[in-house]
Chain A
Amino acid sequence: SQQGEEDPQALSIQEGENATMNCSYKTSINNLQWYRQNSGRGLVHLILIRSNEREKHSGRLRVTLDTSKKSSSLLITASRAADTASYFCATSQGAQKLVFGQGTRLTINP
């Protein structure tokens, strides 16, 4: 069964604005990861946050994790046209398996 669910399913903003995407999951996790998928391409790993971490930064990306609410958010600051892509959260529950959500389709308008 699907573990992560992203919200919103689609997001359209103006270049320069911040974009926030949320992910909820159902069971306990070891870590949570965010990936980006450009149209027609494979997924690219963005950031990993462990279950004992609450926040992590990487460049213009900020990820938070609230294990009590079983939720995570990805914030992209100062968005650029090149950030247009689908963003997926994936949870690791052991067994070397990632379970992906259905993604948020982000469109940055110039």
Chain B
Amino acid sequence: DTAVSQTPKYLVTQMGNDKSIKCEQNLGHDTMYWYKQDSKKFLKIMFSYNNKELIINETVPNRFSPKSPDKAHLNLHINSLELGDSAVYFCASSHNLGTGDSYEQYFGPGTRLTVT
């Protein structure tokens, strides 16, 4: 009964490859997010979707393409992986109360991506 789940937990791949990370939430939330946490623990938002619609795209290279088939799923596809993409990627979800404000977010366990 995990609230926010991500697969895989670990991903080791070579430069130039294409990979995907999947995220699912069973909390009934309308909004889902992807964050990147670097080696210094700095957590930065990449994308946000509300009811399958992209609402935030934080100057992420277009090699990163999120896809939301329904409001419970938000997947992240990365093309032509680079060394600098190595990080931990977190999916999160939250309610959307329509105020434009951000409320409590629920995070998945993270996917540690290592590009060699």
Contacts and interface: CB of A to CB of B under 8 A. Distances in A.
A42 B4 contact: yes
A96 B31 contact: yes
Contact of B102 (A40, A44, A98, A102): A98
* A contact patch SS: strand
B35 to A, nearest CB: 8
Nearest to B98: A96
Interface residues of A, number: 27
Nearest to A100: B43
Contacts, number: 69
Contacts of B92: 42-43
A94 B103 CA distance: 10
A33 B104 contact: yes
Given A31-B102, A94-B101, 8 more contacts: A30-B101, A31-B101, A37-B41, A42-B92, A92-B103, A95-B56, A96-B48, A97-B102
Residue among A31, A42, A96 having the largest count of chain B Cβ atoms under 10 Å = A96
B43 A95 contact: no
Contacts of A86: 41
Interface of B: 4, 31, 40-45, 48, 50, 55-56, 90, 92, 94, 96, 100-110
11 contacts: A30-B102, A33-B102, A41-B110, A42-B110, A43-B43, A43-B90, A96-B50, A100-B43, A102-B42, A103-B43, A105-B41
